[in-house]
Amino acid sequence: MKKYIFLFLIIFSCDYSKNNDNNFVARVDDYYLTQSELNNQIPKNLSEADSTKLIKNIIEKWAINKLLMKNAQLNMTDEEKTSIENITNSYKENLIINQYKNKISYNNPDTLIKNDEVVNYYNINSKNFKLYDEIIKGRYIKLSKNNFNIKEIKRRFKRFNIIDKVFFDSISIQLLNYYLKDSIWINKTLFFAKIPMLKKDEIQRIVKNSLFYIKEDSLALYLIKVKSYKKADDYAPLDYIYNRIKELISNKKKIDYLNKVDKELIDEAINKNIFDVYD
């Protein structure tokens, strides 16, 4: 099949290039591939060899698709064609409607969410939000044992006030690894995966006692501090599931708003006498 396609393209290019005012690069029956359509599929900065190869592949694929479509149209029944056309029209209609719904509901006053709504929802439904895994608030740094400033780093890491946070920003390039967002809840396993040298009993002791902990190996020194801890089956704290609750409220508001829009559309259509239901 490829042989015939390339033969067809070669014949066409030789014949049609003499009078190609429309800047076509290939033809299959009444279908034409334009130079601009071809250019849109070719990345920039390709070598001449790679570009030539890609152009050949694009034209071949385009031709195969058109020839397969032609064969499909000739060999499909009217019922099959009608079924596909209905599916296509339905899919297109749904795409347009969903795009329109997203557009009218985005930043609509009826769908905006206030912080109080999230808090109230949490207070009413907090028992429905249980943790599946242990979570912590903590921080750690990993640094070379040869660091000249270890004493100062230990002191600031343990205290960790606003000035100390600025300090660690300024020396971050000296650290081998770090996590300093200790105001954010994080999965306990994910947090300690960065410190593989710790044993399970050490981790549990650090977590349950909110310890400042120092661990070292032959090359590196780890400073670890856990501030808060929630075990599995505890109720999830609000700041851990805030975005989840916000999304739940948002989805409900959008559904309610779009249902309201649907009802208003029907009522308006009835009032304007452009919608009837026949017995």
For each of the chain's 279 residues, which pLDDT tens digit applies?
444 444 444 444 444 444 455 689 999 988 999 999 998 998 888 888 888 999 999 999 999 999 999 999 899 999 999 999 999 999 999 999 999 999 999 888 889 999 999 999 999 999 999 999 999 999 999 999 888 899 999 999 999 999 999 999 999 999 999 999 999 999 999 999 989 889 999 999 999 998 899 998 888 999 999 999 999 999 999 999 999 999 999 999 999 999 999 999 999 999 999 988 887
C-alpha–C-alpha distance, residues 120 and 261, integer Å = 26
pLDDT of 22 reads 66
Same domain flag for 176 and 211: yes
Same domain flag for 179 and 112: no
Which domain-ending residue is among 75, 92, 118? 75
Rounded to 10 degrees, what is the CA torsion of 179, 217, 133, 183? -20
Same domain flag for 219 and 136: yes
Does 196 fall in a domain?
A: yes
Does 255 fall in a domain?
A: yes
pLDDT of 107 reads 83
Does 85 fall in a domain?
A: no
Number of domains the chain contains: 3
Domain region containing 49: 2-75
Q: What Rg, from alpha-carbon coordinates, does the chain have?
A: 32
User: Could you tell me which residues come within 8 angstroms of residue 132 by beta carbon, excluding any fewer than 6 positions away?
Assistant: 232
Cβ neighbours of 250 (radius 10 Å) = 15
Same domain flag for 31 and 165: no
Does 250 fall in a domain?
A: yes
pLDDT of 10 reads 46
Same domain flag for 161 and 218: yes
Residue 177 gets which letter from DSSP? Answer: E
